Structure 1
Amino acid sequence: MNSKLKVLTTASVFFMSATLAHAACTQSEQTLPVRDLKLNAEGEFVPHWAKKAIWYQIFPERFRNGDKTNDPTVASIEGADPNEPVAHWQVHPWGSDWYELQAYEKANGDKELWKHMLRRRYGGDLQGIIDKLDYIEEMGFNALYLNPVFHAPSLHKYDSASLHHIDPHFGPDPEGDKALMAQEKPWDPATWVWTKADKLALELIEKAHKKGIKVIFDGVFNHMGINSFAFQDVREKQQASPFADWFTVNSWRNEDKGTEFAYQGWFGVQSLPEFKESKHDLAPGPKEYIFAITERWMNPMNKGREFGIDGWRLDVAFCVGHGFWKDWRQHVKELNDEAYLTAEIVDSPEKVKPYLQGDEFDGEMNYNFAFTAAEFLFNPPQMAITASEFDTKLRDMRELYPKGVAYVTQNLFGSHDSNRIASHIVNRGVGNFRDWGEYFQRSQVGNNPQYSPRKPTADELHLQKLFVILQMTYVGAPMVYYGDEVGMWGANDPDNRKPMIWPDIDYADEKVMPDGSTRKADKVAVNTDLQKHYQTLIDIRKRFPALQTGAFKTLLVNDDKHLYGFERTLQGHKSVRVIFNNSQKSQTIGVADEGKQWTEVLNQADLVQAEGKVKLSLPAKWAAILVSH
């Protein structure tokens, strides 16, 4: 999902949440029978590699500027919100204080901070990702989810101008690419060209694959942007346009009748015209186009699936009918039967369930895992859940879906649609994460002056580390949002989209507040201690296969002492036990050894093993990882 905004007043906006958006997406609520279910030898429909994935989510415009010659221009952002002319503009300094307005911004005179934020471009591009593949590999990540990379004017690129081209300013020759693209008939795949930006994307995929890293793209199949070739033609030619049936048009421009051109934007947002849909499917035009671009990126130049992306993450999947997803999955799996499809559906597990029956998606962005973890590990006492409730919620999620699904869901916390985990911890108590629509706004500085934008303390980062232990040892595929591993902090959109912190860039202290006042300065730099913790936990997950594909068994639940533990087992491999002391004091914990010898591998803690028990001492709000000999 993306910065789909609706102006409430001239001074404030809110960014849509998936839950709020369900009100605008009722056509997908009615399910259809499961069709053509294809199971593998294990009785599952999910790709096996996705169980072993450790995901790294990258927001391309804010990750790394690898090529300054392709930086965006003021002309390249036309059509993006706020869709109004701007007199002064430049690429924003990468290391600048986040809330501090630069001279060019002040010269524009706008008093509404959100407009400045949406106009900013930092120059992140595909070359920047390629340049940092070694870093990604060294951290241990083996799968990349890229937020949209297709041609679009916004910083987030959910307002695509086309889906069959990479944004020219993500590649080495923007003007040359635009000239090439102008020669096409964009509705006709036979005329599509391969621009330098397109080819750079293929280079990124190839180099990632050589390192054993999978790559998936963000697919936005509910809408396009106002710069899209189809919508531009409709706006000009009205009913006479061959794309007139692509979009939901409420009225056509007619001077005699006194009607204006009006259309349905996603959740009413006019910069995001929605594709026309029937009860269960997209209109034929956009559906055919999406099928064509799917093949383009999964089998580029007809060279074979090994040269294409390894799957898709589907934006606002609940806004597209089940019939489309069933047809599209079949198309995808014919191109690559090992492709991974994951959906954005922020809702209760019961409402997610119809999408994960084997004929639509393999997994989801597992926000329910994040909600449950926050309630147990972070929430203040009056809002927290017990160890028993935590165990029950986890079990319900594991058992609700068909076999294999729990192992490939993307277990995340922070994302481009939520406050960063560090800032969530700083502000724990401002609301309950599970109350998505309400919490979405409470976690935005612009909507909640009480939300603190300060840097997290060491004690607060200690809680982030505790979550990472859970994330890297529990059932499911961990997903880390870029920068969380180096200690980035930020409120919800747009503050969760700051430029990545790199050791070779000088950063100004953060001291300016959204209203222009100042606070105590926070130093911005890579947190190497936190970074090492992520590396350590990723390495532990990789070293012990039971943590990737092993069975799960609850080992310890003690509500009074706030203790929780589980065991992961896999035939032929070492068993792994993870024990959490979620209390505010150190405790000695004992569990049955079941006739095995155990070693603690996270803290190198001393264990006392005697009389059929293994005992260890755990500090407050910490965990241990025990491995059998």
Structure 2
Amino acid sequence: MNDIQVLHDSQSIRFRRPFGAVEAGQKVKISININKDIIVAIELIKFDGTKMNMGMNKEYLNNGEFKYSVEIDTSDALGILEYYFILIDGYDRVYYGNNDNHLGGVGQIYTYNPVPYQITVYEKSFVPRWYKEGVIYHILIDRFYNGNENKIIDNIKGNSFIYGRWDDSPMYIRDSFGKIARWDFYGGNLKGIIKKLDYIKELGANIIKLSPIFKSPSCHKYDTADYEIVDEMFGTNGEFRELCKVANSKGIKIILDIVLSYTSSDSKYFNKLGNYDDVGAYNSPNSRFYDWYKFITYPYRYESWWGMDDRPNVNSMQKEYVDYIISGDNSIINKWTDMGVSGWFLNVTDELPDEFIELIRKKIGEINKDTVLLGDIWEDASNKISYSRRRKYLQGNEVQAATNYPLRESLINFIKGYIKSDKLRQKIMSLYENYPRESFYGNINILGTNDTERILTVLDENISLLKLLIAIQFTLPGVPLIYYGDEAGIKGGREPDNRRSYPWGKENKMLADFYHKIIKIRNNEDGLKKGKLSIFETDPNVFAFERKYENESVIVLVNVSSKAKLIKEINLSGDYVNLLDISEKYKFAGSDSVITIFPYDLKILRRI
């Protein structure tokens, strides 16, 4: 079959209708064009690995090619439905599948082991409007602001390290084995966040994602010691309730970060160090918490997160643990949702079984259907495999959206010149194709988190490039997240350097002003919050796309090169204004449209 020509494009409705992920029960028409009259079949692979072969109907096209089509019923195909084509001409057989980058779109011919295409089949899922049209401000509490009038730090823990000045550089004090010997604290607290709510509101954010608030020995609190109380250095349960109440009065929702796959060894549940009155699992096999944990040789050997013995793993599906966290009348989910929490962020989501996440989703839906459940997932969440199991994250009953680390990686690579705009388009369209629409528009679009280097440092402190990156972040589908201090120009390498204190009074005003402007543009434009995405093919150093909602159209053009670019490939008609400079107006006339983008510059054009 050396002379055979084949084309299937999973991202074109000419070849797959409808586009992208589909609700279970929806029919999908799949087609492939071939320049020869041959036998064509499609091989389907269901989520459980079951395979099914179907013949395809032939249609002669006016250009001399043949179109082969089949309609797929997805009623019993919940999960990922994969497919590739089998092409038979006499004794010759080849396959047509996804491209070897697994990115969807135009595929390629294989002689064996074709890479399959993916259709995500999901149950209908609702993402609250307040969330998917919002802007998130992510706070690491200890590093944000001390709200005490005298700036004295409350309830300092024993054997801790307190920084002498608010702007000292963070560091870890380790012992000879590399373990943290003394945790470090700046003194940020809930009172500080309450006092800075007007700052967050004025910035334009209407969602706060809080790092864990629960009692814990560490500064970051990702090792819980007691899920029932706020850590005494952060404040009290009453102050958290006040934070939620005051934030809500200002139109700001609170999302809590929580780790449920392990606890601290220095917790009331495990109590390895004997710091609690409770009989912990480490203290006695008769402890009511004993069955929560996974002991190998009691009590000294037990399963722990990445081998860190101060973070013993929890058996998440153990009945008493499920009741305590989720199902009981006084469960942790109930308790904090009643206090005013509007959403939950499941840290290290891969460590939790699907059944456990489903129970949380069901519970929060029963309490308040406007509560959102988010996942800390570093790869494409639609087809993620963790611990040799394909996950069900986006099938409709677990998380509603996830951290968009794949987008972050692609945007940084484009901005720094490692990839061109055609590759960036492929990467984004792959996510658009694979994610249910609600999840894609609810994805947390991040540039930095407490687990990554500061974005300004990643870009070698080049603020011009950072502005381009921010503009794309806030204009693509998804919910943009600002990691506290990124808007102020905080620098920082790997942990703990990426967790510096907020530089109150020493902010980079130029960068802060740009954040204000871009957030205001997003908040004012329905097209940027919920518009359909179309990405144009243009100059390799220019990323150009349209967001279209009803009669609104917003065109974003970003030039990452050192040369001005004349853009002629985009067919624009009508009058447009540059939202970054409303004195700049354009009148376009269809295919004759021409626009110049200066070096390291961008335009956000809205049709008027």
Instruction: Calculate the TM-score normalised by the size of structure 2.
Output: 0.73
Of 550, 570, 583, the residue aligned with 2:531 is 550
User: Aligned AA for 1:286?
Assistant: Y
Q: Distance in 2 between matches of 1:290 and 1:98?
A: 36
Matched, 1:623 2:602: yes
Matched, 1:241 2:287: yes
Report matched runs for 1:338-417 at 5 Å. 338-352=370-384, 354-379=392-417, 384-417=418-451
Q: Distance in 2 between matches of 1:611 and 1:33?
A: 46
Q: Tell me which residue corresponds to 1:529.
A: 510
Please report how far the alpha carbon of residue 546 of structure 1 lies from its aligned counterpart in structure 2 after TM superposition: 0.5
Of 297, 304, 309, the residue aligned with 1:251 is 297
Q: Tell me which residue corresponds to 1:166.
A: 230
Report matched runs for 1:204-603 at 5 Å. 204-232=243-271, 233-235=279-281, 237-253=283-299, 261-277=300-316, 282-291=317-326, 292-300=331-339, 308-352=340-384, 354-379=392-417, 384-426=418-460, 456=461, 460-503=462-505, 525-559=506-540, 562-572=541-551, 574-590=552-568, 592=570, 594-603=572-581
The SS at the match of 2:162 is coil
Q: Distance in 2 between matches of 1:570 and 1:154?
A: 46
Q: Tell me which residue corresponds to 2:163.
A: 92
> Which deviates the most, 603-612 or 285-294?
603-612
User: Does the CA-based 8 Å contact 1:606-1:616 persist in structure 2?
Assistant: no
More helix by share: 1
The SS at the match of 2:355 is helix
Q: Percent identity?
A: 29
Please report how far the alpha carbon of residue 263 of structure 1 lies from its aligned counterpart in structure 2 after TM superposition: 1.6
The Cα offsets for residues 489-536 of structure 1, whole Å up to 9 and x where unpaired, read as 000111111111101xxxxxxxxxxxxxxxxxxxxx310000000000
Q: Distance in 1 between matches of 2:572 and 2:420?
A: 26
Report matched runs for 1:1-150 at 5 Å. 44-67=125-148, 71-72=153-154, 76=157, 86=159, 91-98=162-169, 115=180, 119-150=183-214
The SS at the match of 1:404 is helix
The SS at the match of 1:566 is strand
Q: Distance in 1 between matches of 2:382 and 2:310?
A: 32
User: Aligned AA for 1:250?
Assistant: I
User: Does the CA-based 8 Å contact 2:270-2:283 persist in structure 1?
Assistant: no
User: Aligned AA for 1:497?
Assistant: R
Structure 2, gaps ≥5 residues long: 1-46, 50-75, 80-122, 272-278, 385-390
User: Does the CA-based 8 Å contact 1:34-1:358 persist in structure 2?
Assistant: no
User: Does the CA-based 8 Å contact 1:295-1:335 persist in structure 2?
Assistant: yes
Please report how far the alpha carbon of residue 276 of structure 1 lies from its aligned counterpart in structure 2 after TM superposition: 1.8
Please report how far the alpha carbon of residue 602 of structure 1 lies from its aligned counterpart in structure 2 after TM superposition: 1.2
Report matched runs for 1:603-622 at 5 Å. 603-604=581-582, 606=584, 609=587, 611-612=589-590, 613-622=592-601
Please report how far the alpha carbon of residue 354 of structure 1 lies from its aligned counterpart in structure 2 after TM superposition: 2.5
Q: Distance in 2 between matches of 1:99 and 1:337?
A: 40
The Cα offsets for residues 541-572 of structure 1, whole Å up to 9 and x where unpaired, read as 0111100011111234332xx22211111114
User: Does the CA-based 8 Å contact 1:44-1:403 persist in structure 2?
Assistant: no
Q: Distance in 1 between matches of 2:139 and 2:407?
A: 20
User: Aligned AA for 2:515?
Assistant: Y
Of 223, 238, 253, the residue aligned with 1:199 is 238
User: Aligned AA for 2:293?
Assistant: F
User: Does the CA-based 8 Å contact 2:572-2:588 persist in structure 1?
Assistant: no
For the structure 1 residues 69 and 623, does the alpha-carbon distance in structure 2 shift closer, same or farther, using more than 3 Å as the test? closer
For the structure 1 residues 243 and 472, does the alpha-carbon distance in structure 2 shift closer, same or farther, using more than 3 Å as the test? same
Q: Distance in 2 between matches of 1:595 and 1:243?
A: 67
The SS at the match of 1:229 is coil
User: Does the CA-based 8 Å contact 2:446-2:482 persist in structure 1?
Assistant: yes
Q: Distance in 2 between matches of 1:111 and 1:128?
A: 36
User: Aligned AA for 2:295?
Assistant: V
Q: Distance in 2 between matches of 1:370 and 1:201?
A: 32
Q: RCO greater where, 1 or 2, for CA within 8 Å and sep 6 or more?
A: 1
The Cα offsets for residues 351-372 of structure 1, whole Å up to 9 and x where unpaired, read as 3473011100000111111011
Please report how far the alpha carbon of residue 262 of structure 1 lies from its aligned counterpart in structure 2 after TM superposition: 2.0
Q: Number of residue pairs matched?
A: 474
Q: Tell me which residue corresponds to 2:22.
A: none
User: Aligned AA for 1:63?
Assistant: F
The Cα offsets for residues 168-226 of structure 1, whole Å up to 9 and x where unpaired, read as 2211xxxxxxxxxxxxxxxxxxxxxxxxx101101101111111111110111101112
Please report how far the alpha carbon of residue 93 of structure 1 lies from its aligned counterpart in structure 2 after TM superposition: 2.8
User: Does the CA-based 8 Å contact 1:151-1:167 persist in structure 2?
Assistant: yes
Q: Distance in 2 between matches of 1:610 and 1:578?
A: 15
For the structure 1 residues 622 and 129, does the alpha-carbon distance in structure 2 shift closer, same or farther, using more than 3 Å as the test? same
| Rg comparison, structure with higher value | 2
Please report how far the alpha carbon of residue 229 of structure 1 lies from its aligned counterpart in structure 2 after TM superposition: 1.5
More strand by share: 2
User: Aligned AA for 1:61?
Assistant: D
User: Aligned AA for 2:215?
Assistant: H
Please report how far the alpha carbon of residue 590 of structure 1 lies from its aligned counterpart in structure 2 after TM superposition: 3.5
The SS at the match of 1:597 is strand
For the structure 1 residues 90 and 73, does the alpha-carbon distance in structure 2 shift closer, same or farther, using more than 3 Å as the test? farther
The SS at the match of 1:65 is coil
For the structure 1 residues 367 and 340, does the alpha-carbon distance in structure 2 shift closer, same or farther, using more than 3 Å as the test? same
Q: Tell me which residue corresponds to 2:89.
A: none
Please report how far the alpha carbon of residue 96 of structure 1 lies from its aligned counterpart in structure 2 after TM superposition: 4.0
The Cα offsets for residues 267-294 of structure 1, whole Å up to 9 and x where unpaired, read as 11111111125xxxx2112211111000
Q: Distance in 1 between matches of 2:455 and 2:133?
A: 23
Q: Tell me which residue corresponds to 1:434.
A: none
Please report how far the alpha carbon of residue 48 of structure 1 lies from its aligned counterpart in structure 2 after TM superposition: 2.2
For the structure 1 residues 200 and 228, does the alpha-carbon distance in structure 2 shift closer, same or farther, using more than 3 Å as the test? same
The SS at the match of 2:288 is coil
The SS at the match of 1:169 is coil
User: Aligned AA for 2:205?
Assistant: F
User: Aligned AA for 2:599?
Assistant: A
The SS at the match of 2:215 is coil
Q: Distance in 2 between matches of 1:155 and 1:529?
A: 31
Q: Tell me which residue corresponds to 1:430.
A: none
The SS at the match of 1:535 is helix
The SS at the match of 2:230 is coil
Q: Distance in 2 between matches of 1:628 and 1:465?
A: 23
The Cα offsets for residues 8-27 of structure 1, whole Å up to 9 and x where unpaired, read as xxxxxxxxxxxxxxxxxxxx
Q: Distance in 2 between matches of 1:250 and 1:168?
A: 33
Please report how far the alpha carbon of residue 239 of structure 1 lies from its aligned counterpart in structure 2 after TM superposition: 1.4
Please report how far the alpha carbon of residue 375 of structure 1 lies from its aligned counterpart in structure 2 after TM superposition: 1.4
Instruction: Calculate the TM-score normalised by the size of structure 1.
Output: 0.71
Q: Distance in 2 between matches of 1:223 and 1:338?
A: 27
User: Aligned AA for 1:290?
Assistant: I
